[in-house]
Amino acid sequence: MQFGIFTVSDVTTDPTTGRTPTERERIKAMVAIALKAEEVGLDVFATGEHHNPPFVASSPTTMLGYIAARTEKLILSTSTTLITTNDPVRLAEEYAMLQHLADGRVDLMMGRGNTGPVYPWFGQDIRQGIPLALENYNLLHRLWREDVVDWEGKFRTPLQGFTSTPRPMDDVPPFVWHGSIRSPEIAEQAAYYGDGFFHNNIFWPSTHTRKLISLYRRRFEHYGHGRADQAIVGLGGQVFMRKNSQDAVKEFRPYFDNAPVYGGGPSLEEFTRETPLTVGSPQEVIDRTLGFRETFGDYQRQLFLMDHAGLPLKTVLEQLDILGEEVVPVLRREFAAKKPDHVPDAPTHASLLAAKERAATNTEDDR
Amino acid sequence: MTRKLVTVTAGLSNPSSTRLLADRLTNATEEALAERGETVDVRVVELREVAHDIMNAMTTRVPTGDLSGILKDMDEADAVIAVTPVFNASYSGLFKSFFDVVEPGTLDGTPVLAAATGGSPRHSLVLEHALRPMFSYSRAVVVPTGVYAASEDWGAGESGGRELSERIARAARQLALLATEHSAKTEDPYEEPTPFADLMSGLGT
């Protein structure tokens, strides 16, 4: 089981001080948070991709490349990579480059982006969101697996004799997750390729999340990648912790009440009751997270949203200390004890390379 | 068989004339369904009681409290009776907000009886210029007879309330007929997704 954090890269005013970080401060804070993630023993750091204020993460591979140079073990990922508005050729090139620089510590999560006006800035149309995600990813998938590609489709100029460089490291493309909160088409897509499926698990009641995940699991089995309970599932979550539950609630409430995404809406109590948001003691976070397994089955990756809504860097780093010291070690132990042997871990470059070499050996044996 | 009837009422006072009209429509529909040999499972939803939950769903998409169950009932309904007071020459904001957080597709093919109350008969066309277009957009099947009740229709007017009673009975009969013919939704994209090959049809591969 992998544990990590994902960021949306929002620049938000701290409601308790009225201070808004500069873009530079926020960018540097994201790097500090990623380095801290490695320091406290987390496995994954994932950055969002946005091309509109108040977000700063418009250039994920630049940021992840920089973090790669300053870390040793951390897996660098995205949450999400816009498969709709990015040219799949550029994605193939940029992430293969990043994969080499990071010695294979790279995977990606594909997403569509839900802001209509962004699409035309990149020559696209949100009404074509699903077809864009399908066609673009299909091309990306080929570019990483075929040395020379001839291709013609609906959304970009044709390719004749095109080779995307650099080729993926060890000829093993980065593992891909597909993120969606409500689209059965995306769960179907992930299942077809045998890729991972990630649900951000933040705004949606668990009944909806479960429908989508069980669809993905069923179809994963249908397409012959393994049993439904061997499908590769990732979940989000958001937490705020202090030693005493009441202190966590008291400290987090102004951030919750003023957050751009839920301010003016439900109370903190309602939202923690109805969604996976957990504000309380480390033990409460442990219990709630273990509950995800009861709801969705054994899964491979748990990412937490920690740095949002204007929380100051110092607070976020404290949160990561608690996560790394008190929460994740317990979760690792508990999840490992409960996971049946036939359920795989999340693929990594090493495991994919090993699988590839095994497959090659088996083919030779067959001859 | 048992038909599920959901009545949505957006009246604010207690008792309200909107609730009164909702109850009369509900009872008349139950009777009309009974005449057709159907039993009825009725749920009456007072939107006021979930007003905050509707706003929670509006702002975050999370249907808190009882709203979650109400939305499920809407999804399973064989017939819906929707009654709003007229505010500022249209349906009330609470009424509209509720239908704004009902998932798209929920009312697809569902028979709906649209009704409204007002202090003056001058707003009776609210049924035609506000409610009916909204339900048509939702692909609901709106019964031909809408029911508007102004103050004078409750018995003070010349007909002594007889016209309103007749209108209620006619609308209820029409709704009952459609409810009897309503078949439960068969397509669930989460149960039966479009296969990948079909999704890719027409796209570059």
**Residue B144 burial (C-beta neighbours within 10 Å; 0-12, 13-18, 19+):** exposed
Which residue from A62, A63, A5 is spatially nearest to A39, judged by alpha carbons?
A5
Residue in chain B lying closest to A159 (CA) = B204
* Cα→Cα distances B133→A85, B73, B121, Å: 35, 23, 20
Q: With cut-offs at 50, 70 and 90, classify the pLDDT of residue A221.
A: very high
Which among B58, B62, B190 is the nearest to A205, CB-wise?
B62
Is there a contact between B62 and A151 if contact means CB atoms under 8 Å apart? no
Q: Say whether A153 and B203 touch across the interface (CB within 8 A).
A: yes
Confidence band for A330, pLDDT divided at 50, 70 and 90? very high
Fold of A2-366: TIM Barrel (3.20.20)
pLDDT score of B147 = 98
Look up residue A263 and give its DSSP letter: T
Residues A273/A312, Cβ–Cβ less than 8 Å: no
Rg (CA), chain A: 20
* Residue with more model confidence, B185 or A174: A174
Q: Which of A76, A56, A58 is nearest to A66 (CA)?
A: A76
pLDDT higher than threshold 90 for residue A187 = yes
Q: Which of A84, A112, A114, A134 to mutate to test the interface with B (most CBs of B within 10 A)?
A: A134
pLDDT digits (tens, 9 = 90+) for A26-39: 999 999 999 999 99
Work out the mean pLDDT of chain A and round it to a whole number: 96
Taking CA–CA distances from B194, the nearest residue in chain A reads A185
- Looking at residue A49, what DSSP letter applies? -
Q: Quote the ipTM score.
A: 0.91
Write out chain B's pLDDT in tens, 205 residues: 899 999 999 999 888 999 999 999 999 999 999 999 999 999 999 999 999 999 999 999 889 999 999 999 999 999 999 999 999 999 999 999 999 999 999 999 999 999 999 999 999 999 999 999 999 999 999 999 999 999 989 887 777 788 999 999 999 999 999 999 988 766 788 999 999 999 999 999 8
> Token digits for A57?
């993460």
Rounded CA separation A81/A85 (Å): 9
The C-alpha atoms of residue A354 and residue A348 are separated, in whole angstroms, by 10
Mutate to test the interface with A, among B53, B54, B59, B64 (most CBs of A within 10 A): B64
Q: Quick: pLDDT tens for B111-163.
A: 999 999 999 999 999 999 999 999 999 999 999 999 999 998 988 777 778 89
Q: What is the pLDDT of residue B1?
A: 80
Give the per-residue SS3 of A199-235.
ECCCCCCHHHHHHHHHHHHHHHHHCCCCCHHHCCEEE
> In the CATH scheme, what architecture does the domain B2-199 have?
3-Layer(aba) Sandwich (3.40)
Distance CA B204, CA B199 (A): 11
Sketch the domain layout of chain B as residue ranges.
Answer: 2-199
Closest CB to A266 among B64, B190, B193: B64
Partner residue opposite A185 with nearest CB, options B55, B199, B204: B199
Q: What residues in B contact A203, CB-CB < 8 Å? A: 60-62
Nearest Cβ partner of B56 from A154, A192, A270?
A270
Separation of alpha carbons A52 and A120, rounded Å: 13
Note whether A200 and A236 are within 8 A (CB).
yes
Q: Name residue, tokens 């001859």.
A: A367
Contact B61 A273 (CB under 8 A): no
* pLDDT exceeds cutoff 90 at A202: no
Q: Where are the domains of chain A?
A: 2-366
pLDDT reported for residue B186: 67
A276-311 residues labelled b (16+ CB within 10 A) or e (exposed):
bbbbbbbebbbebbeebbeebbbbbbbbbbbbbbbb
Which residues in chain A have Cβ-Cβ distances shorter than 8 Å to B62?
203-205, 265-266, 271, 274-275
Which value, to the nearest 10 degrees, does the dihedral of the CA atoms of residues A93, A98, A103, A106 take? -100
What residue in B sits closest to A267 (Cα-Cα)?
B56
Among the partner-chain residues A135, A185, A223, the one whose CB lies closest to the CB of B204 is A135
Phi, psi of A209 (to 5 degrees): -60, -40
Which of B55, B60, B61 to probe the A interface (max A CBs under 10 A)?
B60
Contacts of A153 in chain B (CB under 8 A): 203-205
Is the Cβ–Cβ distance between A76 and A64 less than 8 Å?
yes
Sheet arrangement for strand A175-179: A75-78, A44-47, A2-7, A301-305, A233-235, A196-199, A175-179, A107-111, A81-82
Q: Which of B60, B202, B203 sits opposite A265 (nearest CB)?
A: B60
From chain B, pick out residues whose CB is under 8 angstroms from the CB of A134: 199-200, 203
Compute the CA torsion angle A45, A107, A176, A173 (nearest 10 deg).
Answer: 180
Per the CB < 8 A criterion, the answer to whether B59 and B67 are in contact is no
Q: Tokens at residue B165, please? A: 């009673």
Q: What is the pLDDT of residues A108-140, one digit of tens each?
A: 999 999 899 999 999 999 999 999 999 999 999
Reply yes or no on whether the pLDDT at A362 is more than 90.
no
Coil, strand or helix at B45:
strand
Q: What is the pLDDT of residue A367?
A: 64
Q: Which residues of A318-352 are buried (b: 16+ CB within 10 A; e: fewer)?
A: ebbebbbebbbeebeebbeeebeeebbebbbbeeb
List pLDDT tens digits, range A248-266. Answer: 999 999 999 999 888 889 9
Check if B190 contacts A (Cβ < 8 Å).
yes
Name the CA dihedral angle for A328, A333, A339, A345, rounded to a multiple of 10 degrees.
50
Tell me the three state secondary structure of residue A172: coil
Three-state secondary structure call for residue A70: coil
Quick check: A351 and A358 in contact, CB under 8 A?
no
Q: Which of residues 61-120 of B touch A (CB under 8 A)?
A: 61-65, 68
The model carries a pTM of 0.91
Run of H or E residues at B85:
strand B79-87
Query: How many CB pairs below 8 A link A and B?
Result: 84
